[in-house]
Amino acid sequence: MNKVLQFTLADIDQAICVSHTSKENTVLRSGISPEKVFMNPNAVDAAMFTPSPERLSCDEIVIAVISRLVYRKGADLLVEVIPEVYRLFPKVRFIVGGHGPKRVRLEEMREKFSLQDRVEMLGAVPHAQVRSVLISGHIFLNSSLTEAFCIAILEAASCALLTVSTRVEVSQRFFQMT
């Protein structure tokens, strides 16, 4: 058990988690009674995340990635996947929005495979600009290794992007419903 978490939650009446996995982790790590922990998923502002009224050209397929570029978010997996996807589908282009310590690895991969014109690195994207990045793509790629609740998948779906995701909880639950 996590002593800090246990101490922090010792006197609470209830706790709210954004997913079943985060609820299970909270109960396991804190020792709090499961009856005190409730699941309440995050939501998306549907007025902010809407599909583009204009159809994208299918001359090339654009894959959008919006993520912190860290290990837990699967940035290392992106480094491996992007060249392979490009090898199989030369007309694909990636737009990567996000920052973090793994950006260097992505930049090195672009150089190594000469993909500077196929992989656009945007850096940090303010939340108000996320929709404009998403509607520039056909597909949203989520490479997270672990995720309590990947709101980016819901934002992409609200913008009518097809989604490819690792098997994190929200993707499994979301794709079961669709």
- Tens digits of pLDDT across the chain (178 residues): 688 888 888 888 898 887 788 888 889 999 889 998 988 877 788 889 999 888 778 889 999 999 999 999 999 999 999 999 999 999 999 999 999 999 999 999 999 999 999 999 999 999 999 999 999 999 999 999 887 678 888 899 999 999 998 887 554 555 554 4
pLDDT for 11 equals 87
Strands 139-142 and 61-66: parallel
3-state secondary structure (DSSP) of residue 123: strand
Domain boundaries, the chain: 3-39, 61-177
Whose tokens are 């779906």? That residue is 157
pLDDT for 172 equals 52
Decide yes or no: CATH 3.40.50.2000 for domain 61-177: yes
Helix axes 151-158, 169-177, angle to 10 degrees: 30
| Alpha carbon distance 163, 125 (integer Å) | 19
* 31 conformational bin, left if phi > 0, alpha if psi -120 to 50, beta if neither: left
Q: Residue 121 forms beta bridges with which residues? A: 96
What confidence score (pLDDT) does residue 44 get? 83
